[in-house]
Structures are given as C-alpha cells and as structure tokens.
Amino acid sequence: MEREFTSASFNQFLGEKKLMASKCTKCGALYLPPRPLCIKCFSSEMEWVEMKGKGKLAAFTTIYVGPTFMIEEGYDRNNPYCTGVVELEEGPGISARILGVDAKKPEEIKIGTPLVVDFVERGEGEAKRTYLAFKA
Ligand SMILES: [Zn+2]
C-alpha cells in the first residue's frame, strides 16, 4: 500500500531508518520532506524514493536555548548544539541536527563538511520517536 506523501509518512520512514523523498514522476523534482503536489509542474503523481543519506553541510546554527526536549537532554547555554541544512547528493536540502561537530567552536565548523545520515531514537515504547540527524 502506498503511503501518503506527508510528513507523518516521512517520520514513519525515519522510524524504519529510511530517509525518503517524494519524487515527481512527471518532471523528476525531489521533495524532502515529501510533498503531495509538485510545485514545479503541478503534477500530483509522486513516488517514494530512498535517499542515500550522504550530503554536505550547506548552512548551520548553534543553538544555546533549545526546545524543552533538548534542554532535558542536557543542552543549554553552556552546552549548545548544532542544527543545519544538509545538501544531499541527490540535490534537495533538508534541515537536521548536526552531530560530530563542536557547537562550542562554530568557527571550526566548515560549510561543505561531508555528512552521513544518522537516525536518533528518543523515548521508549509508545513515546519512542526517531529524529533525523547527520554526522560529520
Ligand atoms: Zn513535477
């Protein structure tokens, strides 16, 4: 059964450790997170394609005051974390948590750093969710 092209399906795939994009079967445009409708040619004929999970850092920010779940993980003013936009080998960019870089030394984080996908699991049982991250 085909899954709907929504962020809910995208998150479901993350739980299966798959980074999936929707691809327009008419013009080939890739959407990540997936879209049900192509904004280039207005076709609604989409298919799922799995991304290889390799890319490079296109932009980043270090975050000192994050959302509650990040504070609960121990991130704060003294222990910042990094999020960024990853440009995938297949073309599209996606924002994700960036691991394996020192968020305390943003001057040492280089645009263009090669990254590979990582799936971060948080919580237990019913509350378990998988978050998209990339690591250097
Ligand atoms: Zn299209």
- Measure 10 CA to ligand 1 centroid, in angstroms: 19
Burial 20-44 (b: 16+ CB within 10 A, else e): bbbbbeeeebbbbbbbeebeeeeee
Query: In this predicted model, what pLDDT tens digit does every residue of 68-98 receive, in sequence order?
Result: 888 888 899 999 999 999 999 999 999 999 9
Output the CA 75–ligand 1 centroid distance in Å.
40
pLDDT tens-digit profile of 11-33?
999 999 999 999 999 999 999 98
CA–centroid distance, residue 8 to ligand 1 (Å): 22
DSSP single-letter state for residue 4: P
Q: How far is the CA of 35 from the centre of ligand 1 (A)?
A: 11
What is the reported pTM? 0.89
**Cα 5–chain centre separation:** 16
Cβ-in-10-Å burial (0-12, 13-18, 19+) of 94 comes to buried
